[in-house]
Each structure stands twice: as C-alpha cells, then as structure tokens.
Amino acid sequence: MENGWLTLTGDVEWHCQHDAASVDVRSLWGVVGISNDIIIKPKADAKNIKDHIMTALHKSWFNPNTVDVSTHDGRVTLSGTVRSWSERDDAFNTVWASPGVTSVVNDIRVN
C-alpha cells in the first residue's frame, strides 16, 4: 500500500472472486483507493457454460436451441433469441457465474 492506495494482484477462476477481493479490503483502515489488477484465468468452456445457462433458464421452459454460446480465451459471446428480458438477463448473469469468464458480449435478442 502506498499513500492509502492498495494494489491487488494474483489469479482467480471466477469473476465474483475478482470483485469480492476489492470489496473485502475496501473497508480496511487506511485504504483510500484500490487498483484491482487480479487476473481471471481464461479457461471458459462453451459446453459447460451453455449447460449452466440451460439449467438456470429451465424454470421458464427455455428452449436451449435458441441460444448459441461461443468462447475464445475467456471471452464469451451469447447470440440467438429468448422470449423475455428476464431470460436474456438470466443467461448473461449465468455466464458471469461460470469459471474462467473474463468478458461477456450479450447479443441475445428478445422476441
């Protein structure tokens, strides 16, 4: 820590771990700012992510054939169509909850 600024470094597998690290240290005495340089290990798997999305959306009788999931070095792109904004948001949030995801592009359309 220098002049109240704390720099976080290291590797994690989950986006929530990346965010939780800065939340956990924010209230420490003397901390006035945080630079979160923690890296999310890019090991996202499109098949596993799609399975997680299908499980999360199962409650709405979601048709798994309407969404496509592609990954490249931890970057995930969602495309296709869903019936509601809620389903679109559920798909997006489910991807962020998957290990190794570093960014998400949500190109899912709502019919």
The residue range of the domain holding 22 is 5-40
Contact 25, 6 (CB under 8 A): yes
Q: What local confidence, expressed as pLDDT, does residue 44 receive? A: 65
Q: Are 29 and 62 in contact (CB under 8 A)?
A: no
Is residue 51 located within the same domain as residue 35?
no
Rounded to two decimals, the pTM is 0.62
For residues 46 and 68, give the distance between their C-alpha atoms in angstroms, rounded to a whole number. 9
Per-residue pLDDT of the chain (111 residues; tens, 9 = 90+): 788 999 999 999 888 899 999 999 998 999 999 999 999 886 667 677 777 776 766 665 666 678 888 888 778 899 999 988 988 888 888 888 877 788 899 999 999
**Do 62 and 14 sit in the same domain of this protein?**
no
Asked if 55 and 100 sit in the same domain, the reply is yes
The burial of 11, by beta-carbon neighbours within 10 Å (0-12 exposed, 13-18 middle, 19 or more buried), is given as: exposed
Q: What is the pLDDT of residue 35?
A: 94
SS3 call for 19: helix
**Residue 32 φ/ψ, nearest 5 degrees:** -110, -15
